[in-house]
A and B are shown apart, each in its own frame.
Chain A
Amino acid sequence: MNSPLSWNRLPRVSPDAVYRLTQRSADIPLHLPRPLLAYGNGRSYGDVCLTEQGTLLLTRGLDRFISFDEQNGILRCEAGITLQEILELIVPRGWFLPVTPGTRMSTVGGAVSNDVHGKNHHTSGTFCHHVRCLELWRSDGSIIECGPEKHQQWFEATVGGLGLTGLIRWVEFGLIPIENPWMWVESRRFANLDEFWTLNHQLESRWPYTVAWIDCLASGNARGRGLILAADHAAARNELPKFKERRRRVPIDPPFSLVNRVSLRALNGLYYRQPIKPQGGLTHYAPYFYPLDTIQDWNRIYGRQGFYQYQCVIPPREAEAATAALLETIGRRGEGSFLAVLKTFGNKSSLGMLSFPRAGTTLALDFPNRGDKTLRLFEELDAIVREAGGALYPGKDARMPASLFQSGFPQWEAFSKYVDPNFSSEFWRRVTS
């Protein structure tokens, strides 16, 4: 078997062993090389889910529901189940995930360990704000059931804990009620960053979901132009459109990245000019929340060298200036992705000691891996983030320097007391060395 990869296909490391879990209550064999690390569905962009030493524990075989309280919207399930599998069960019964990342291919264990956020952070916080309890297996054989009110310190270490506190075997969390699978989505264009801040402020106060896409290659007066989408679950109605999901896939690994300056400019420009719906319209939840999931293996377009995602958060006071500086730097280099994602986080503080989301603005972009050139650009971006007192998202990182991690996650030393002595990752070794 090929070694498991992370979503950005970088770094490529082979563990000493790979072990598939199939039963939540079964013992993990003692003979497996240590350290251990859980691998969910590899939707992180980097090395939080990888280890070159020891054994990767593949959790996808833990894909059973444990209980579903349909009256109150409470679901308990094994940690290797994907958000997609959950949605297939709950949506037809009138429930939805309280928070969802931009892919439904994440497992629940992955969503907890990266304490993922969605487009509704300003109203609903992170995924772990909705977790009621979870079960943690430690390599000494102990089992800890923890939650916001039970063994709270273990809970706070484990949510957003990057898989380092042990193996999460199941999770129980609350759902939100919906009337149907549709979203009511309003889209608006903004011509530059100033317009974004005003528009975003207005929309956030009225809509539970907001997110903006920015053409990161537009320069001069148009710097920061983009689209903002505000949405809510659609109200009950008698007639709904038909929806049939189409799936495509990228069938091969191109020898070089298909993402380059020319294709990027063209695509970004096209996206910006697409028709908008200022009056709003219905969109099915799948294309609204998971536009990229319809193209299977889209990560292959970056070629064998893989790519990076750069996602930072900047505290509110510095947000406007730093965002402008980041876009300026990226634009100057002509690097950057098809669409940068810009979103403001609300004030709800995250529960995890290492959770990434915090009040401020988050910007995320993909970059083809062009070796040193790309890494040098990141150093320039790091300087802006550091200066502004921001942080990078560990779940989307394959290269941040230890110093930036430690300044962005000041609780890291307190956290390290909860790390299972037999668990580790490439990420953890990198940022603590």
Chain B
Amino acid sequence: MNTLNRVLIFGATSAIAEQTARQLVAQGASLYCVGRNRDKLMAIIGDLRARASSQQYIDGCVADLTDSAQHPNLIDAADHQLGGIDGVLIAHGTLPDQKACQADTSLTRQEIEANALSVINLLTLLANRFEQQQRGVIAVISSVAGDRGRQSNYIYGAAKGMVTLFLQGLRNRLAKANVNIVTIKPGFVDTPMTAAFDKGGPLWTAPEHIAKGIIKAMEHGKDEVYLPWFWWGIMLIIKHIPERIFKRMSL
């Protein structure tokens, strides 16, 4: 079991990350929260402080994570403020407008930057630190969308797929160092990112439910988890449809 007493969260203003933070605070954790939108981040830190006891430390700072030059400072600040880091959650992401990306190469690059390269940059720095400390857990929210490219969403899918593959390699490398690398693959989650979708169906899940799964996976040092679990079955089928047939489908 990994203990999660001191946790660093990137993309702390995400709805999934916020619910995860609340549950971690309820378990007694101290947190360092990094987010891009100042008002949102301050509201969340205020809320977490009200929920925390006086023994818990809650703070954070504002940063756009596509600015990779800042990454080392952010990690140092968290390490310093928390007095060490037991776990990290990387949650930030954007859902690209697929059609717009198809018409604009620079937009495509931006989306890959936000969803993949910024994450890989953080992971590279964190990996070296965790390899040295010989313990801890790093979890990243990837997506079921990274399991297979689909016409409707393949820029996002490709970026998440890159993250998933990078994490596989990193997991392999850090297994020897007693560090757990957790890939989180949520299905459809009812958050601001998916505000434009019609959320009537049974496949939609509330972020607090995903948050519970994330914490459990981090504590148990899981490798890859689908959240909720049934997405494992759905993706198994989707991954195994022969390309010859898949390319004619409109998914």
Contact = CB atoms under 8 A, between A and B. Distances in A.
A, B co-complexed = yes
Interface residues of A, number: 16
Nearest to B44: A64
B199 A1 contact: yes
Interface string A42-82: 00000000000000000000001111100000000110000
Interface stretch (B45-53, B74-82, B117-125, B144-152): B45-53
A190 B202 CA distance: 49
B192 interface: yes
Contacts of B199: 1
Contacts of B50: 65-68, 77, 89
A1 B198 contact: yes
Nearest to A89: B51
Contacts of A64: 43-44, 46-47
A23 B43 contact: yes
Nearest to B39: A25
Nearest to B191: A22
Interface in B12-64: 15, 39-40, 43-44, 46-47, 50-51
B195 interface: yes
B146 to A, nearest CB: 26
B233 interface: no
Interface residues of B, number: 14
A31 to B, nearest CB: 14
Nearest to A19: B195
Interface string A1-42: 110000000000000000010111110000000000000000
Nearest to A64: B47
Interface string A328-343: 0000000000000000
B51 A65 contact: yes
Contacts of B39: 23, 25-26
A215 B248 CA distance: 67
Given A2-B200, A64-B44, A20 B51 contact: no
A183 B39 CA distance: 40
A66 B46 contact: yes
A77 B200 CA distance: 30
Contacts of A22: 15, 192
B174 to A, nearest CB: 35
Contact of B200 (A1, A23, A26): A1
A347 B47 CA distance: 37
Nearest to A26: B39
A23 B40 contact: yes
Contacts of B51: 65, 89
Nearest to B37: A23
Contacts of A66: 43, 46-47, 50
A337 B193 CA distance: 44
A67 B46 contact: yes
Interface string A79-101: 00000000001000000000000
A231 to B, nearest CB: 29
Contacts of A20: 195
Contacts of B43: 23-25, 64, 66, 78
Contacts of B195: 20
B202 to A, nearest CB: 14
Contact of A65 (B47, B198, B200): B47
Contacts of B47: 64-66
A77 B15 CA distance: 18
Contacts of B198: 1
Contacts of A68: 50
A23 B47 CA distance: 12
Contacts of B44: 64
A25 B40 CA distance: 8
Contact of B46 (A23, A26, A65): A65
Contacts of A26: 39
B211 to A, nearest CB: 14
A197 B192 CA distance: 54
Nearest to A75: B50
Contacts of A65: 46-47, 50-51
B42 to A, nearest CB: 9
B23 to A, nearest CB: 12
A300 to B, nearest CB: 19
A24 B40 CA distance: 9
A67 B15 CA distance: 20
Contacts of B200: 1-2
Between B39, B44, B47, B200, the greatest number of chain A beta carbons within 10 A of the residue's beta carbon is seen for B47
A81 to B, nearest CB: 9
B209 to A, nearest CB: 16
Contacts of B15: 22
Interface in B110-161: none
Nearest to B46: A66
A64 B43 CA distance: 7
Contacts of B46: 64-67
Contacts of A1: 198-200
Interface in B71-117: none
Contacts of A23: 39-40, 43
Contacts of A89: 50-51
A68 B54 CA distance: 12
Nearest to A67: B50
Residue among B39, B40, B43 with the most chain A CB within 10 A?
Answer: B43
Interface in B156-204: 192, 195, 198-200
A133 B200 CA distance: 37
A175 B73 CA distance: 41
14 contacts: A1-B199, A2-B200, A20-B195, A23-B39, A23-B43, A24-B43, A25-B43, A64-B46, A65-B50, A66-B47, A67-B50, A78-B43, A89-B50, A89-B51
Given A23-B39, A64-B44, A66-B47, 19 more contacts: A1-B199, A1-B200, A22-B15, A22-B192, A23-B40, A24-B43, A25-B39, A26-B39, A64-B43, A64-B46, A65-B46, A65-B50, A65-B51, A66-B43, A66-B46, A67-B46, A78-B43, A89-B50, A89-B51
Q: Which 10 A-B pairs have the closest CB atoms?
A: A65-B50, A64-B47, A68-B50, A65-B47, A25-B39, A64-B43, A66-B46, A22-B192, A23-B40, A1-B200
